[in-house]
Amino acid sequence: MLALFILLPLSFTIPTIFAWQLFEKAGKHGWQTLIPFYNLYIFLQIIKKPLWWYLLLLVPFLNVFMYMLMLVELAKCFNRFKLWEQFLAVVVPFVYLPYLGLQSDMPYVDPDERPEIKKGIVREWTDAIIFAVVAATIIRTFLLEAYTIPTSSMEKS
């Protein structure tokens, strides 16, 4: 129980400190990280995405994928375009985002001002496969229910 009183506040405090640094690097006020829901709105402003993305963050299960996409877009704002760098931003954001915030040689680049990066064929296929898997997962979860045709072998199970 004591661990709950120690670890729970730390699990909110530490990410807020590093988000504060990222917001300031992006030219926003650090205190904006402290306001729930508003901080996500500012996050969308930093990565220059439309407001309807915010509505998708309110949809259960879909919000997880949207947040992952937002983390990838944030990594791109710090010139992290390699697949493994974006993978780290999604899989271990509690390590990678503080790294972005603490590195002085990684300035924020406005998404409208950054040059278009030409992707190789392997990267194009990798992105397409990842999109297909995520889209299929979302569609199967929300729209289609897997249906099993009852058979006589299922009667005793």
**Residue 59 per-residue DSSP state:** S
Mean pLDDT lowest for which of 73-82, 85-94, 138-147? 138-147
> What are the residue ranges spanned by the domains of the chain?
2-118
Q: Which amino acid is at 98?
A: P
Q: How far is CA 149 from CA 139, 141, 144, 146, 152, in A?
A: 21, 19, 15, 10, 10
**pLDDT digit string (tens) for 119-155?**
788 888 988 998 899 888 878 777 766 666 667 766 6
Please give the mean pLDDT across all residues of the chain: 84
Its pTM surpasses 0.75? no
* Token pair recorded at residue 16: 């807020």
pLDDT grade for 156, boundaries at 50, 70 and 90: low
| pLDDT at 41 (0 to 100) | 93
| pLDDT at 132 (0 to 100) | 92
* Token pair recorded at residue 35: 């306001």
The answer to whether the beta carbons of residues 33 and 97 sit under 8 Å apart is no
For residue 17, count other CB atoms closer than 10 A to its CB: 12
For residue 52, count other CB atoms closer than 10 A to its CB: 8
